[in-house]
């Protein structure tokens, strides 16, 4: 426990330092690209310092070009875990509250991540347009459609509104199953814990599924795939 208390302290310092570096890199003229490189490095260092064993598979399912990554949400570790797992930069479409976190929120913003105010329809439309433009430029954009982190690994209902981005952009929708984060840092906990982490990229929805489905049907189809992956891995998905 002492070891993980020390790791927790080091990760907090790492996060503060990298956040400051990302903001500085942006302000010194490096722009979004420089800030993004800093935050990608932060994600990888975060996971390594945590000492967690990580299994990543299914990367062959990731299409070239822009794609919407749709994942279950287990922990605050999920963002650095996805930055660790993917070799390509990942942008996150997150709720506005994350952007208000001191240092980290600004670093995420200048690195090209997008924060959406779900209570402001006009802001939501503007952010979705920005995210669509990034997808058209070939970026990976990640969303967590449950809207909140799990307490016990259970995969909650997917909010269909989160899938408006997929319908607006026409980009491939790639389900991504995450496991272990809720054990490494349970919701409300302040210290990291030992855990095995996993990221599994699943086959994208077919073009027909995206074109013919409503937001609700797309949400249901993606959730079912992630639940199946959780069941196959012996995770806590549940229906």
The SS3 of residue 93 is: strand
Domains observed in the chain:
2-233 (3.40.1130.10)
Strand partners, 56: 199
CA distance 177 to 203: 11
Write down the pLDDT at residue 33.
94
- Model confidence at 237, pLDDT cuts 50, 70, 90, reads low
Cβ neighbour number for residue 54 with a 10 Å cutoff:
16
CA distance 16 to 107: 10
- Model confidence at 117, pLDDT cuts 50, 70, 90, reads confident
Strand-by-strand arrangement of the 90-95 sheet = 53-57, 196-201, 173-179, 67-71, 140-143, 90-95, 114-116
Task: Give residue-wise pLDDT tens across range 11-64.
Answer: 999 999 999 999 999 999 999 999 999 999 999 999 999 999 999 999 999 999
Both tokens of residue 108? 């995420």
- Model confidence at 239, pLDDT cuts 50, 70, 90, reads very low
**Residue 105 pLDDT exceeds 90:** yes
């Amino acid at each position: 426990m002492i070891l993980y208390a020390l790791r927790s302290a080091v990760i907090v310092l790492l996060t503060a330092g990298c956040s400051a570096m990302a903001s500085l890199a942006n302000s010194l003229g490096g722009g979004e690209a420089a800030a993004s490189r800093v935050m990608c490095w932060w994600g990888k260092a975060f996971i390594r310092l945590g000492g967690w064993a990580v299994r990543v598979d299914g990367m062959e399912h990731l299409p070239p070009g822009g794609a919407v990554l749709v994942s279950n949400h287990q922990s605050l570790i999920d963002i650095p875990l996805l930055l660790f797992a993917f070799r390509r930069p990942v942008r996150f479409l997150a709720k506005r509250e994350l952007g208000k976190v001191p240092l980290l929120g600004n670093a995420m913003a200048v690195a090209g991540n997008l924060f959406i105010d779900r209570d402001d329809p006009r802001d939501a439309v503007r952010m979705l347009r920005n995210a669509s433009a990034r997808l058209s430029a070939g970026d990976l954009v990640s969303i967590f459609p449950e809207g909140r982190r799990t307490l016990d690994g259970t995969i909650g209902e997917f909010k269909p509104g989160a899938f408006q981005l997929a319908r607006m952009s026409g980009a491939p929708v790639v389900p991504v199953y995450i496991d272990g984060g809720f054990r490494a840092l349970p919701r409300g906990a302040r210290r990291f814990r030992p855990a095995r982490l996993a990221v599994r990229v699943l086959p994208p929805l077919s073009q027909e599924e995206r074109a013919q489905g409503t937001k609700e049907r797309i949400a249901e189809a993606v959730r079912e795939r992630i639940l199946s992956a959780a069941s196959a891995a012996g995770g806590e998905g549940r229906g």
